[in-house]
Every structure is written in C-alpha cells, then in structure tokens.
C-alpha cells in the first residue's frame, strides 16, 4: 500500500510540475500591471482557501470532494490558458492558491520540490509588488485583511 501511495504522489508531483512550468510561462507573458494584480488576487485566493475546511479542495465542486485531490488546479489551469486576460489571471491565482495548500505540508520529495518552486514564484510576485508600493509587509498585510 505504501508503494502505491508513493507512486500516486510521484505522478501528482509530475503533473503539478508540468502545470507550474506552464503557469510560470503565462505569468511571464503578462504585463507588469497584470502581474501586480495577479499578486494581489493570488494572496486573496490563498486567504479564502485557508478559511475552507479543506483548503486543498478549494474550487472543487462539493459533489467531487472524495477524489484523491481536488479539481481546483485543473479548473485554474484551464482558465489560465484562456485568451481573455482577466480569466487567465483569475485562473492563475486559483491554481497558485490550490497548489500552495496541496503541497505545503507534503512529505514526499516530489511534492516538496513543487512547493519550493511555487513559493519562489509567489516570492517573485511579492517582490514585484514591493518595488511598486514600497512597504511590502504593510501592503500585503492590508491586502490579507481585506481578503
């Protein structure tokens, strides 16, 4: 059983790595203003997911709560590939939030790697925001309180 669990986790880590690579390319394709908006929206999505009973299932329809993992990353990934910039930004933010909660307490190496890469991407968005607003900690705390 342990081998099967590790195999499933390895497959999921591979899937999330591939999606993260595409998400990062989508983020790089956004304008500076849209990346700033994305940083704020991602923080809000992470905060809203935190308020759920099961944050890693954020964005998953209630009837699909018993799957091995939620559908939030799939929904966010599909939206992130949209030609409409607003839909894409919202999809990227959803994907970042769900993937963050899904991988943050991971014990297996592949998922920990995804978590570190994800945190690096979130840090870049945060640093970009710092350059435009000055005091990042106060700004992000204010945004978190608003979320």
Residue 134 DSSP one-character state: S
Give the per-residue pLDDT at 63. 78
Helices (H) and strands (E) in the chain — how many of each? 6, 0
- Mean pLDDT in each 10-residue stretch from start to end of the chain (147 residues)? 81 94 95 94 92 83 76 93 95 95 85 93 87 56 54
Strand intervals (E) in 31-110: none
Give the per-residue pLDDT at 142. 57
Give the per-residue pLDDT at 140. 54
| Largest Cα span, the chain | 51
Give the per-residue pLDDT at 144. 52
Global confidence as pTM? 0.83
Pairwise CA distance, residues 89 & 84, whole Å: 9
């Amino acid at each position: 059983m342990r081998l099967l669990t590790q195999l499933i986790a390895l497959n999921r880590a591979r899937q999330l790595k591939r999606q993260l690579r595409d998400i990062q390319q989508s983020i790089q394709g956004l304008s500076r203003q849209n990346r700033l908006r994305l940083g704020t929206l991602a923080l809000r999505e992470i905060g809203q997911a935190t308020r759920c009973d099961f944050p890693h299932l954020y964005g998953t329809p209630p009837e699909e709560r018993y799957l091995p993992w939620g559908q939030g990353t799939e929904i966010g990934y599909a939206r992130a590939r949209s030609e409409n910039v607003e839909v894409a930004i919202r999809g990227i933010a959803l994907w970042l939030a769900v993937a963050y909660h899904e991988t943050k307490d991971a014990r297996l190496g592949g998922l920990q790697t995804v978590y570190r890469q994800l945190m690096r991407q979130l840090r870049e968005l945060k640093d970009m925001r710092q350059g435009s607003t000055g005091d990042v900690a106060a700004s992000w705390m204010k945004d978190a309180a608003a979320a």
